[in-house]
Every structure is written in structure tokens, then in C-alpha cells.
Amino acid sequence: MNDNGGVLPLERLVNVRDLGGFAAADGRFVRRGLLYRAGELSLPSRGDRAALEKLALAAIVDFRSGEEAAKNPDCAISTVKLRAKLPIDAGNILALSRKEGDVPGETLMEDLYRCLAEDARPRYREFFAILADSRNAPLLFHCSAGKDRTGLAAALLLSALGVGREQVYRDYLLSAVCLEGKYQDFIEEDPGVAPLMTVKRSYLDAAFESIDGKFGGIERYLEAELGADTGRLRELYTARGFS
């Protein structure tokens, strides 16, 4: 794994990183330069745009709701041939937290992750179908902050590639570092929202617990619920050595 977790050193865009380098199944590694995760891609600096162009992305998957995407549209990237909108409406968790002030933010986020694992299956199924088409690589997937809808998508993808659970968590928790300071104004105004603006192990725990308890474990969930062809995905996105 890259020492910096594959984070791209961009100026305005945050939480953009290459998923390559993780140890995968059968002594292989996730290939670099093929799979990227990110927050929203609106308002990049000139240097950020140049960096995105250099990735030669073929496809972008956007998990944001239509309202989110309309408010902050992705920047244009000349190499992209497929822009797939797979909206997952996570609800206004900030408004909910203020309405349900007696419910801890951690509890709200854990509930959100259970909902993502259970209710967003059709969108994640579409995501895995796109991944299985080699014409769509290199591919970048994102939501607004790149931590929840994208965070679970990355956890599912890495699991499908045979990456160990602790390394899946390592990638997931890196969002807390990448987003540090981004929501400071919100937190200063209302410290109670702090758990909503980051990631914690218990949030992803909740998703995996739901997957284990309701769907018979991650392997069955990936295959039966998401239609993931793990053999195909590993052929496309993993290799011997750090290629």
C-alpha cells in the first residue's frame, strides 16, 4: 500500500485517492491507476483539472442525489466516455440530527450504514455491472464527501477483490484524515454534528453486521445481492506484484 494511502495531492478537491496497492486474493495486488474514489469533483483548481485529465479516466460513477449533483456539477474531463448517475439518497442526515437531538450522531450514522447496505443494493448492483466492463477502466466513483456512499462502495469493491478486512477498514478510515478541517465551520456552530462529518469504525461495522445477519455474509451478498463476478473483477483489477 502507498504510504499516503494513494491520496492524490490536489489543491481544492478532497478525498481523491487511488485504490491500488492493497494485497488481494491469491497473492495478488490491486492494480494502480484503474480504480479511484473521491468526493465531489466540482470547482477544481487548474492543477486539479490537469491531474484528473492525466488519470485518463474512462468512466465516472456518481452516487449523489439529483439535487446534490445539480447544485455542484462535476467538472468536465475530456477522457471520460461514461458518466453513470447512480443516485443514492442518504437523506438529510444533518437536518435529521437536529430534529432528533436526543439521538447520538454515531447512532444515526450506524443506522445510515445499515440502510445503505440494505436499501442501496440496486445502485451498488449497477456499480458492479459497470466495473465488470473493461471499457470503463480507469474508473472513478464518488459522492459528495466521498466517505459514506462511496466509502461503502469502496469497502464492497475491495472485499470483492479479496482484500482483507483490516485493510478495507484502513482505506475506509482514511477519509477521516482526508476530510479533517473541511467541515470545521459546521462543527463549531454545532459540536453535536461532529460524528456526522467523519467516519468511524462502528459505522462500517454496522453495514457489515447487516450484511452478515441478513444476507449470509459478504461473499453471498456480493454474488447474490449485487451480482458481482469476483473472478472477472479480480482478473481486471488485480495482478501479481504492484502493477
Burial of 93 (0-12, 13-18, 19+ CB in 10 A): middle
Between CA 94 and CA 92 the distance in angstroms is 5
Position 26 in a domain: yes
CATH of the domain at 131: 3.90.190.10
Q: Which residues are catalytic?
A: 143
Stretch 147-159: mean pLDDT: 98
- Looking at residue 92, its pLDDT comes to 55
Report which residue type is found at 142.
Answer: H
Average pLDDT over residues 142-169: 97
* 58-99: pLDDT as tens digits: 999 999 999 999 999 999 999 999 999 999 987 655 455 445
Q: Is residue 5 part of a domain?
A: no
How far is it, in rounded angstroms, from Cα 4 to Cα 233? 25
Task: Give the pLDDT band (50/70/90) at residue 2.
Answer: very low
Q: Give domain status of residue 8, yes or no.
A: no
Q: How many domains are contained in the chain?
A: 1
Domain that holds residue 62: 17-239
Q: What is the C-alpha separation between 84 and 130, in angstroms, rounded?
A: 9
Residues in the chain: 243
The model's pTM is 0.94
The proportion of the chain whose per-residue pLDDT surpasses 90, expressed as a percent, equals 82
pLDDT digits (tens, 9 = 90+) for 4-55: 789 999 999 999 999 999 999 999 999 999 999 999 999 999 999 999 999 9
C-alpha cell at 86: 447512480
Q: Is 232 strand, coil or helix?
A: helix
7 within a domain of the structure (yes/no):
no
| Average pLDDT of the chain to the nearest whole number | 92
Residue 113: HSE in the Cβ half-sphere, 13 Å Cα cutoff? 28
Q: Is 37 within the bounds of a domain?
A: yes
User: What CA–CA distance (Å, rounded) separates 147 from 178?
Assistant: 10
SS (H, E, C) 171-221: HHHHHHHHCCCCCHHHHHHCHHHHHHHCCCHHHHHHHHHHHHHHHCCHHHH
Dist. CA 112–CA 203, nearest whole Å = 8
